[in-house]
């Protein structure tokens, strides 16, 4: 009987030793969905004045929503002035600019890359959509450094 109990004890011990340990994996919480926000410190006034050309941008930011006033007074061109509303994502403002030029009201999409010290207008292929001119593909905009608006 002693032998039987000893054998059973050894079998139980071997079974317990060979059993794979239970792995407890950490359960990852899903990442919180956050809205992209504008970089801090980009709100304010930006100005370009050179060679008789003036461009002024006055920007207000609330979260990722942006609005403001934009004026172009380019040498030997008609002045246009108006307001804009749009969004700032990854430091780029994309907005609908409603302006008056030559007594006519128009709407077109504008883009500015903002870094808190300057604003550079973006350019790209455009198309008419729903009565306004819009960029065909905002991911393909170019931001030439030829007319940099400096923060005032």
pTM: 0.73
138-139-140-143 Cα dihedral, nearest 10 degrees = 80
User: pLDDT by residue (tens digit) across 65-76?
Assistant: 999 999 999 998
DSSP 138: G
- In sequence order, the β-bridge partners of residue 59 are 44, 68
Domain 44-151 adopts which CATH fold?
Answer: Lipocalin (2.40.128)
> What are 23-77's pLDDT values in tens digits?
555 555 555 544 455 567 899 999 999 999 999 999 999 988 999 999 999 998 8
d(CA 42, CA 61): 8
């Amino acid at each position: 009987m002693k032998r039987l109990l000893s054998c059973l004890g050894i079998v139980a011990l071997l079974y317990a030793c060979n059993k794979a340990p239970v792995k407890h994996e950490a359960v990852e919480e899903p990442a919180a969905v956050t809205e992209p926000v504008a970089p801090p410190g980009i709100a304010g006034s930006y100005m370009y004045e050179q060679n008789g050309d003036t461009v002024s941008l006055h920007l207000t930011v609330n979260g990722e929503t942006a609005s403001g006033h934009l004026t172009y007074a380019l040498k030997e061109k008609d002045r246009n002035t108006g307001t804009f509303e749009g969004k700032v994502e990854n430091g780029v403002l994309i907005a609908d600019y409603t302006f008056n030029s030559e007594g006519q009201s128009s709407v077109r999409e504008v883009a500015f890359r903002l870094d808190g010290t300057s604003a550079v207008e973006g350019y790209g292929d455009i198309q008419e959509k729903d009565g306004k001119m819009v960029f065909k593909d905002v991911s393909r905009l170019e931001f030439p450094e030829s007319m940099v608006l400096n923060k005032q």
